[in-house]
């Protein structure tokens, strides 16, 4: 296995382990090479769930839930199929993230309009899904290795981008909460200011109440008569 591929796999696994995440993969043209690359890393049982090799279209449908209509309209080597493969694998494995690969490794394209070396990689998490594609020139073996390297790099790219967006969203939420707290503080201060102003402009109300209380007490005392029973 190429050192660059091993390095990319290690980088992805570090991200998984740091957050306690799990991964699953679904492959077509690479025939399990991505799963093999990941499980070559010691301790894979802690974060690697399971994998699928769905080479035939009917396997993509029955095993991963890819829509036949999408296969017929877009072709097996397409962004929509790559995303549906990833989503289906992630849901069935109950993993944090899934990688799917569908492409044309060669030596011919079996009548497809897409050239040999074309690959689509789908990445899916519980909250988002994306697909990227590229074209690689080489032998069948070289293309398969290149597809795996591209899949790992795509997963890292999507993962890092998602983490940045999550941090930005969290920062916006914190700012929104702080602004709401400041507005509430201003509102309470304004209420307190108005209340104080009202007391200053009408101090007689407190005095009138006190006088009324005293008068009431006197009246109550004058109405009460005490007598002793013999």
Looking up residue 14, the CATH number of its domain turns out to be 3.90.950.20
Confirm whether 175 is domain-assigned.
Answer: no
Domain annotation covers residue 77: yes
Dihedral of the CA atoms 147, 153, 155, 157 (nearest 10)?
Answer: -140
Per-residue confidence band for 168, with pLDDT thresholds at 50, 70 and 90: low
Q: What is the pLDDT of residue 94?
A: 97
pLDDT at 197 over 90: no
Q: Is residue 26 part of a domain?
A: yes
Domains: count for the chain: 1
Report the C-alpha gap between 77 and 111 in whole angstroms. 12
Asked, for residue 168, whether it belongs to a domain, the answer is no
- The answer to whether residue 89 is domain-embedded is yes
| Residue pLDDT, tens place only, 46-91 | 999 999 999 999 999 999 999 999 999 999 999 999 999 999 999 9
Domain that holds residue 111: 3-161
Asked whether residue 99 is assigned to any structural domain, the reply reads: yes
Q: Is there a domain that residue 29 lies in?
A: yes
Q: How far apart are alpha carbons 88 and 189 in whole angstroms?
A: 55
β-strand pairing of 97-103 with 118-125: antiparallel
Q: How many residues does the chain have?
A: 230
In a domain, 184, yes or no: no
Radius of gyration of the chain (CA): 35
Q: What is the mean pLDDT of residues 140-167?
A: 91
Helical H runs in 65-139?
Answer: 68-74, 79-93
Residue 111 has pLDDT above 70, yes or no: yes
Q: 95-114 burial by CB neighbour count: b if 16+ within 10 A, else e?
A: bbbbbbbbbbbbeeeeeeeb
- The closest alpha carbon to 143, from 111, 113, 110, 109, belongs to 109
């Amino acid at each position: 296995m190429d050192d660059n591929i091993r390095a990319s796999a290690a980088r992805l696994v570090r991200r998984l382990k740091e957050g306690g995440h799990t991964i699953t993969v679904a492959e077509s043209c690479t025939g399990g090479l991505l799963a093999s690359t990941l499980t070559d890393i010691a301790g894979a049982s802690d974060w690697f769930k399971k994998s699928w090799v769905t080479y035939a279209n009917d396997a993509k449908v029955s095993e991963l839930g890819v829509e036949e209509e999408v296969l017929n309209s877009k072709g097996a080597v397409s962004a929509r199929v790559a995303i549906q493969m990833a989503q289906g694998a992630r849901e069935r494995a109950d993993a944090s993230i899934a990688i799917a690969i569908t492409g044309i490794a060669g030596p011919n394209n079996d009548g497809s309009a897409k050239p040999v070396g074309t690959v689509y990689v789908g990445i899916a998490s519980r909250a988002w899904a994306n697909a990227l594609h590229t074209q690689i020139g080489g032998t069948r073996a070289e293309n398969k290795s290149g597809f795996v390297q591209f899949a790992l790099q795509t997963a890292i790219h999507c993962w890092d981008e998602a983490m940045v967006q999550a941090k930005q969203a969290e920062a916006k939420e914190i700012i929104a909460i702080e602004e709401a707290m400041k507005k509430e503080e201003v509102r309470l201060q304004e209420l307190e200011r108005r209340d104080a102003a009202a007391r200053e402009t009408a101090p007689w109300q407190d005095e009138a109440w006190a006088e009324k209380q005293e008068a009431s007490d006197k009246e109550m005392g004058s109405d009460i008569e005490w007598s002793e029973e013999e």
